Amino acid sequence: MIVLIDNYDSFTYNLVQYLCELGADVTVVRNDAATVAEIVAMAP
């Protein structure tokens, strides 16, 4: 799994689309919606 941090710009979803086309499992997290501990717990 890849965790991509969204800094509220459109480029994030361009990356998500490209990575998904390559077969990656991508999760998007807004930069103010999760702590470092929460992201680490996702085990990306």
Domain residue limits, the chain: 2-41
Question: Is the pTM of the predicted complex or chain greater than 0.75?
Answer: yes
Examine the pLDDT at 35 and tell me if it is beyond 90.
Answer: yes
Where residue 10 falls among pLDDT bands split at 50, 70, 90?
confident
Examine the pLDDT at 32 and tell me if it is beyond 90.
Answer: yes
Where residue 11 falls among pLDDT bands split at 50, 70, 90?
very high
Percent of the chain clearing pLDDT 90 (strictly above)? 91
Could you give the C-alpha distances from 31 to 8, 12, 21, 22, 34, in angstroms and in order? 8, 11, 24, 24, 7
